[in-house]
Structure 1
Amino acid sequence: MTVAPAVWRFDAIGVPWRVETPAPVPGADRARVGRLIEDFDRSWSRFRDDSIVAALARGAGSAPAPADAVMLLDTLSAAAEATADAVTPLAGDALGALGYDADLTLHPIGVHPALPWREVLSWTEREITLTRPATIDIGALGKGRLVDLVFQSLHHLAGPLVVDASGDLRSRGAAERVGLEHPYDPERVIGVWEIEDAALCASATNRRAWGDGLHHVIDGRTGEPVRTIVATWAVADDAMIADAVATALFFDGGPRFAHDRGVAWVRMTTDGRAEYSPGCAARLFTA
């Protein structure tokens, strides 16, 4: 007889989370996960006044680097290089100009191309430095990194483990069958991808969307929302890399960025076509 897993649900960084384990997650582990999420948010959130990101946005200078700053910003810079800076670590002000600001006003004030980040932003293991005020945004891979941190925090628990943060998912010990949601109809899927001991991350322009054609996936070079790709999915060993690839796939350099990291992927264009990497294991439904 198959025993249903224990499911722990909670909200964090603005989205619902689901953790599945054979037995309920102990209270001490839940408390540790809560502290981990709070520390990550206090470091990287551009939606709270007391974060390191917010402090740097208020004035140029340096701030202590969080423990994972080099990992995150090195990966973001690689994605920027692959996409000719369409992906950028300084997307925050461009998103804010479109209304996706710290106060979530959702009232656009114009188009604001991102600053040339190589001239403005630098980092070491000890500090992050800005030569002028700007808003760092790690949305291209931040949720995936937090999934990895929560997953690692619970890795000592026996048996299968699934950590799912509303589109960014990592599993161990059991197959997880994931429907690839149709971006134009949330009641449909364009295919199914089964993963085990891996991470799957998805991104779509119908998520975190507001106004006419406004959404959270922007081209940092122009400050405008992307128009050609509407949804992406990527499978990698860890969620941070899968998340970074899912973002890069909205741009021309994304497939090469994925190939160089051995990441399988699917993406859907605005005219309804599906593209996918060679050897991709997703089962796509075709007409």
Structure 2
Amino acid sequence: MIASGPATWRFDAIGTAWEVVTDRPLDEAVRRETAAIIERFDAAWSRFRPDSLVSRLARHGGRVPAPSDAAPLLDTLAEVATATGDAVNPLVGGSLEQLGYGAAYTLRAGAAVPAPSDWRAALSWSADELALEPPAMIDVGALGKGRLVDLVLGALPPGDAVVDAGGDIAVRGQPVRIGLEHPYDSRRAIGVWEITDAALCASAVNRRAWGDGLHHVLDARTGEPVRAVAATWAVADDAMHADALATALFFESGPEVAARWRGTWNTQWVRMLTDGRVEWSPGCDAQLFGGR
């Protein structure tokens, strides 16, 4: 969580804690609209809800009207998939479920199953339609929370604001200093990062973990959790791209994705490997306590 500001609104949604800090209290209409934005997103993209759009497609496949953000979400997800050699895959949801991270959240290890390698033939989308055949579980976890953070920030009235959804943070206005939590000790930080009118998203193997070596960042080509990287932090102009990059950085080609987006989305990054080494992007503004 970030430090409280002049007006702080805390709530839980999509399985995580949210904190919205603004320079004046939000009126009830803005809060209702924020709740409606989150509900629409969850109803479309949550694989933990049996009534969600992606859950229905997983059962039956077919063609459905596209959610309003299907094109920006899936276009970016496809870009990351291509850049990572399909280590990131929009149909990885089934692999996560098979490994024990499904709607029931059984906390029980299962078998590793690769995601469908032919996802480009199975899944298609436009501004109007989302199509999937044969049925499979779409998972937008690589960047979905970041996209929702952007949508919530966009619904807030003008002025300084920070939206923090479980460590995916978008900042508008005044600069904010954010600690980079150590993945093996939540009481410590490996550094701090000051951002202004930007977003910082983080991912780590100690979050959403349910067994020895089992966590939510899978290599879709094998269905196995990533082993070499412990945590990533990425900064970009918006939270969707920061979230996408934080996911991509778990894979060998992650720095190449960052370099590709650097000029367009002003990306920077830090990552910690499982052996304790820390890497960072050229010109990174983060203050790392271990030195450079």
Under a length normalisation based on structure 2, what TM-score does the superposition of the two structures give?
0.95
Match of 2:290 in 1: 286
Q: Percent identity?
A: 61
Superposed displacement of residue 4, structure 1: 4.6
1:129-159 Cα deviation digits (max 9, x unpaired): 11211000000000000000000000x23x3
Match of 1:265 in 2: 269
CA distance in structure 2 between the aligned counterparts of 1:64 and 1:107, rounded to whole angstroms: 35
Superposed displacement of residue 106, structure 1: 2.1
Any runs of at least 4 consecutive aligned residues in structure 1 with deviations exceeding 3 A, and if so which?
none
Match of 1:217 in 2: 217
AA of the residue aligned to 2:110: I
AA of the residue aligned to 1:236: A
CA distance in structure 2 between the aligned counterparts of 1:212 and 1:130, rounded to whole angstroms: 34
1:51-74 Cα deviation digits (max 9, x unpaired): 110110002211211011011001
AA of the residue aligned to 1:228: A
RMSD of aligned alpha carbons: 1.1
Alignment check: 8 A CA contact 1:162 1:171 kept: yes
CA distance in structure 1 between the aligned counterparts of 2:65 and 2:42, rounded to whole angstroms: 15
CA distance in structure 1 between the aligned counterparts of 2:277 and 2:20, rounded to whole angstroms: 33
Cα separation, partners in 2 of 1:4 and 1:149, compared to 1, 3 Å: closer
Identify the match of residue 132 of structure 1 among 121, 131, 134. 134
Under a length normalisation based on structure 1, what TM-score does the superposition of the two structures give?
0.96
CA distance in structure 1 between the aligned counterparts of 2:5 and 2:260, rounded to whole angstroms: 38
Q: Where do 1:1-287 residues align within 5 Å?
A: 4-116=5-117, 117-154=119-156, 156-157=157-158, 159-262=159-262, 263-286=267-290
Alignment check: 8 A CA contact 1:98 1:106 kept: no
CA distance in structure 2 between the aligned counterparts of 1:243 and 1:68, rounded to whole angstroms: 16
Unaligned runs of 5+ in 2: none
Secondary structure in structure 1 of the residue aligned to 2:256:
helix
Superposed displacement of residue 80, structure 1: 0.4
1:176-202 Cα deviation digits (max 9, x unpaired): 111100101111111110001110000
1:7-56 Cα deviation digits (max 9, x unpaired): 00000100000001122111110001001100010011111011110110
Secondary structure in structure 1 of the residue aligned to 2:162:
strand
1:92-150 Cα deviation digits (max 9, x unpaired): 00000111001111223311100021121111111111121100000000000000000
